[in-house]
Structure 1
Amino acid sequence: MKRYLNILLLVLAIVVAACSGEDHNHAEGATEYTCPMHPQIVQNKPGTCPICGMDLVPKTAHGDGVEITEELAFLLKPTNTTVIANIATIKPEQKTAEATVKMDGVITYDPRRVYSVPAKVGGRIEKLFVKYNFQPIRKGQKLMEIYSPDLITAQKELLYLVQSAPEDKQLIQAARQKLQYLGATNEQINRLIRNGEESYTFAVYSPYNGYVIDLNASAPNANAAPAPAAGTGGGMDAMGGGTSSAATPTTTTPAGQTIQLREGMYVTAGQPLVRVVNAEQLWAEFNVPAGDNNPLTKGAPVVISFPQLPGEKLEAKVDFVQPFFSEGENFAKVRVYLPGSNKLAMVGQLVTGEASYKTDSALWVPREAVLNIGTKHVAFRKSDGGFEPVAVTIGTNAGKEVQIISGLKETDVIATNAQFLVDSESFIKVSN
């Protein structure tokens, strides 16, 4: 009986050991292993992570292991998916807009008010009264005194006729007219007849109000070469009187060439003596790139502001648009006549202008939606695989929007901020 009992106990021990071994194997097989850095890697046995090579750890080592929450799932997305999912988009809008063109320019003379005072008779300058550039002069002011043998001869002829043949009115009138052609004024002729004695110097007077320009009295030339008259030009009455001339610098002006004068030099008939500019009417001249000047036409309103005078503005209109091509670049000179009798503008003053106009109907997008990559402009159009860069041609700007001439359609969906999509230079590969 005792032996039977021992055999029974042995069988029970074997059965218990077998059951406990099966439970141990089952528990070991049920354990899952994962990578601490890549929770998506899960295996049912120990090993290493195929991504980073780290040893796998049991998921049950820290409670329930790594919990993949909504925030963690967002971080596990590929980088390009994350960017595409979070960028705003917009469609081009077909409309008209009030656009403006900003221009930088300078105040300059009106060439139609730049006059030349020529010599009507050849002779020698005895006294010179115009000494420096931008010297103000008025109409009838004496500019210089000139000695001319032709004037002396014409005076003697008139005095001879007046004294010896006063009844011959026709000859006397012809002699008076000859003196007038040589630059003498009626007042000078009448004084000559009253005094009965010829004058060896005649005064040359200015027929215009304004400022002297293009004058260089420092040149020692004995005989100044004639130069073409500028502006509308005009005749000159006889002139006179003065002091010794002072050296003045050469100045570049709209008239062009400089005039060199000094006392004692000889002048020839028709030679420009001085140039006078009337500054009562000025204009502003702006250089505008070719792409911006297309909508500007005569009569377009322009608001001119002065950087040196904050808050001061002038309202004017475009008077002339002149195309230019220089050094491989197209541009235009936009000229705007300033309102008369204004005291804000001075010759040589830098100004800014803002011309406004209404555009034709076109596609408009935010400025941020178009990226300038140097050789072209690019927008990012949404496609099935994300965003693709497309080349676009832009027009004018209106506020925070830019006009699209070609490259996009009204039904296209583009990225609102093109710069956000650029992560490297190689990313932008425009196919068209």
Structure 2
Amino acid sequence: MKRYLNIFLLLLAVAFSACSEQAHEHDGEEAAQETTYTCPMHPQIVQDEPGTCPICGMDLVPTSAHGEDIEITDDLAFLLQPTNETVVANINTVKPESKAVPTSVEMEGLITYDERRIYSIPARVGGRIEKLFIKYNYQPIHKGQKLMELYSPELLTAQKELLYLVRSAPEDKALIEAAKQKLRLLGATDAQISHLIRTGEASYTFAIYSPYDGYAIGLNTTAPSATPSSTPVTAPNAGGMGTANPGMDRSRAATPPAGSELQLREGMYVSTGQPLLRVVNPNQLWAEFNIPAGEVTSIAKGAPVQITFPQLPGEKLEAQVDFLQPFYEAGENFAKVRVNLPGKQKLARVGQLVSGTATYTTARALWVPRKAVLDIGTRSVAFKKVGGSFKPVAITVGTIAGDQVQVVSGLEQTDVIAANAQFMVDSESFVKINE
């Protein structure tokens, strides 16, 4: 009997032990199922398995669902809000605006002559310069002023022909008038012809007078070089008078190219048609500015320009654009803007450096605040709002007017972009643009 009791107690102990183990296993499975893992820095990251935080990379720590309930206050709710949602919610946004904006472009240039008022005085007859009264650049010249005295066998012969006709055939008015006209074509004035008839003596030197007012320019005031001249000089005639041959070879006489310096010396020979002097009238001046080629399409003829003088603070001139010329020089693409200075004024001097501000109104286009565009060196970027986040997009900018930037391409008028693009970039970020 006692033996059966022991067996019963043994069986009862085994059964109780098995039940206890099953209960412990059940409790372990339930605990394993209720354990979750979260990030200490980002509590919004919750996973059922151990791992790392997808935001900061920290190891997840286990948390139990049987912990005490925590009251979620407003301040705690703000801290528990995802970081990107918090930042996005506080970013100001703007939309591109379609409008025409009045703007201006700054230019640097200088004062120069009006090329339409630069005159050339050529030699109407060949000969030798006996006396020269214009000897340096920018020497004032008045209309009717004597420039030089020229010895010319051709002029001497024409004078003697007229005197001979006046003395021998005074009744032949037509022939006398033809002789006078010949002298006029050789450069003689009516006053010189009248003086010749009145005195009855031919002059061996003939004065050349200026038909223009202004200043002498383009004179070569340097000493002549020892190299042979390319202009052939004719030998004296056989008469031994030391004068040029009346039949001097005009076809071989070389004339200097346009715009080059003119060499004038007493005793030198000149040929028919050779430029003797250039005279510029400074009553009308130009201001010429160089601007980037991209700006020239915006400025039109007649656009107002305000000219200032660095040497004269506070002094200003109001003018208008007269001419636009695309120009390419020294590998740099730019345009030349010419402005006619108004009337006679005392502020501008030839060769003076000036600054100009041309104002104009742009064509209608999309404009955004300047802060909304980020320049990353190779391109410009704006942050376009897509859903609940911002996406960097490449844009093409045009004119910059104050705190506004013209958007040529990359954005639509319905797009929403960040008002401050710099705020979207931190020290550890890199803007990646999807092409």
TM-score tier, shorter chain, comes to 0.7 to 0.9
Q: In the alignment, which residue of structure 1 is the partner of 2:174?
A: 170
CA separation in 1, counterparts of 2:432 and 2:315? 48
Q: Could you tell me how far 1:76 is from its partner in structure 2?
A: 11
Residue of structure 2 aligned with 1:320, choices 295, 319, 323 = 323
Alpha-carbon distance change, 109 to 74 in structure 1, aligned in 2, over 3 angstroms: farther
Q: In the alignment, which residue of structure 2 is the partner of 1:126?
A: 130
Q: Is the 8 A contact 1:220 1:262 kept in 2?
A: no
CA separation in 1, counterparts of 2:397 and 2:117? 41
Q: Is the 8 A contact 2:152 2:204 kept in 1?
A: yes
How many pairs are equivalent? 359
Q: For 1:427, what is the secondary structure of its paired residue?
A: coil
Q: Is the 8 A contact 2:85 2:388 kept in 1?
A: no
Alpha-carbon distance change, 426 to 184 in structure 1, aligned in 2, over 3 angstroms: farther
Structure 2 length-normalised TM = 0.72
Deviations 1:235-281 (A, max 9, x none): xxxxxxxxxxxxxxxxxxxx721111111111111011111111111
Q: In the alignment, which residue of structure 1 is the partner of 2:406?
A: 403
Q: For 1:259, what is the secondary structure of its paired residue?
A: coil
Aligned residue runs from structure 1 range 50-89, under 5 A? 70=75, 84=88, 86-89=90-93
Q: Could you tell me how far 1:352 is from its partner in structure 2?
A: 1.9
Residue of structure 2 aligned with 1:374, choices 361, 373, 377 = 377
Q: Is the 8 A contact 1:115 1:275 kept in 2?
A: yes
Q: Is the 8 A contact 1:223 1:266 kept in 2?
A: no
Q: Could you tell me how far 1:310 is from its partner in structure 2?
A: 1.9
Q: Does 1:354 align with 2:352?
A: no
CA separation in 1, counterparts of 2:405 and 2:224? 60
Which deviates more, 181-190 or 408-417?
408-417
Aligned amino acid, residue 265 of structure 1? M
Alpha-carbon distance change, 287 to 415 in structure 1, aligned in 2, over 3 angstroms: same
CA separation in 2, counterparts of 1:177 and 1:121? 14
CA separation in 2, counterparts of 1:138 and 1:163? 36
Q: Does 1:260 align with 2:260?
A: no
Q: For 2:344, what is the secondary structure of its paired residue?
A: coil
Which deviates more, 418-427 or 201-210?
418-427
Alpha-carbon distance change, 413 to 150 in structure 1, aligned in 2, over 3 angstroms: same
Aligned residue runs from structure 1 range 223-238, under 5 A? none
Q: Could you tell me how far 1:175 is from its partner in structure 2?
A: 1.1
Q: For 2:183, what is the secondary structure of its paired residue?
A: helix
Q: Could you tell me how far 1:82 is from its partner in structure 2?
A: 7.0
Gaps of 5+ in 2: 1-39, 44-52, 60-72, 233-257
Q: Is the 8 A contact 2:285 2:341 kept in 1?
A: yes
Which deviates more, 374-383 or 89-98?
374-383
Percent identity for Structure 1 against Structure 2? 65
Q: In the alignment, which residue of structure 2 is the partner of 1:290?
A: 293
Q: In the alignment, which residue of structure 2 is the partner of 1:330?
A: 333
Aligned amino acid, residue 90 of structure 1? V
Q: Is the 8 A contact 2:394 2:410 kept in 1?
A: yes
Q: Is the 8 A contact 1:390 1:431 kept in 2?
A: yes
Alpha-carbon distance change, 270 to 283 in structure 1, aligned in 2, over 3 angstroms: same
Q: Is the 8 A contact 1:291 1:395 kept in 2?
A: no
Q: In the alignment, which residue of structure 1 is the partner of 2:164?
A: 160
Q: Could you tell me how far 1:73 is from its partner in structure 2?
A: 7.3
Q: Could you tell me how far 1:102 is from its partner in structure 2?
A: 2.1
Q: Could you tell me how far 1:38 is from its partner in structure 2?
A: 6.7
CA separation in 1, counterparts of 2:42 and 2:427? 31
Deviations 1:92-124 (A, max 9, x none): 112222222222221111111111111111111
CA separation in 2, counterparts of 1:328 and 1:370? 30
CA separation in 2, counterparts of 1:272 and 1:412? 67
Alpha-carbon distance change, 73 to 117 in structure 1, aligned in 2, over 3 angstroms: same
Q: For 1:319, what is the secondary structure of its paired residue?
A: strand
Deviations 1:125-147 (A, max 9, x none): 11111111111111111111111
CA separation in 2, counterparts of 1:404 and 1:39? 39
Q: Is the 8 A contact 1:224 1:267 kept in 2?
A: no
Q: Does 1:150 align with 2:154?
A: yes
Instruction: Tell me the C-alpha RMSD between the 2 structures.
Output: 3.8
Q: For 1:126, what is the secondary structure of its paired residue?
A: strand
CA separation in 1, counterparts of 2:172 and 2:75? 121
Q: In the alignment, which residue of structure 1 is the partner of 2:67?
A: none
Alpha-carbon distance change, 212 to 161 in structure 1, aligned in 2, over 3 angstroms: same
Q: For 1:216, what is the secondary structure of its paired residue?
A: coil
CA separation in 2, counterparts of 1:213 and 1:374? 48
Q: Could you tell me how far 1:407 is from its partner in structure 2?
A: 0.8
Q: Could you tell me how far 1:376 is from its partner in structure 2?
A: 2.5
Q: Is the 8 A contact 1:224 1:260 kept in 2?
A: no
CA separation in 1, counterparts of 2:80 and 2:355? 51
Alpha-carbon distance change, 263 to 75 in structure 1, aligned in 2, over 3 angstroms: farther
Alpha-carbon distance change, 388 to 172 in structure 1, aligned in 2, over 3 angstroms: same
CA separation in 2, counterparts of 1:109 and 1:75? 75
CA separation in 2, counterparts of 1:422 and 1:289? 32
Q: Does 1:104 align with 2:108?
A: yes
Alpha-carbon distance change, 430 to 274 in structure 1, aligned in 2, over 3 angstroms: farther
Q: Is the 8 A contact 2:88 2:388 kept in 1?
A: no
Q: For 2:391, what is the secondary structure of its paired residue?
A: strand
Q: For 2:432, what is the secondary structure of its paired residue?
A: coil
Q: Does 1:392 align with 2:405?
A: no
CA separation in 1, counterparts of 2:346 and 2:367? 41
Q: Could you tell me how far 1:86 is from its partner in structure 2?
A: 4.7
Which deviates more, 384-393 or 341-350?
384-393
CA separation in 1, counterparts of 2:178 and 2:172? 10
CA separation in 1, counterparts of 2:230 and 2:189? 25
Q: For 2:382, what is the secondary structure of its paired residue?
A: strand
Residue of structure 1 aligned with 2:204, choices 195, 200, 205 = 200
Q: For 2:137, what is the secondary structure of its paired residue?
A: coil
Gaps of 5+ in 1: 1-36, 41-49, 54-67, 227-254
Q: Could you tell me how far 1:317 is from its partner in structure 2?
A: 1.5
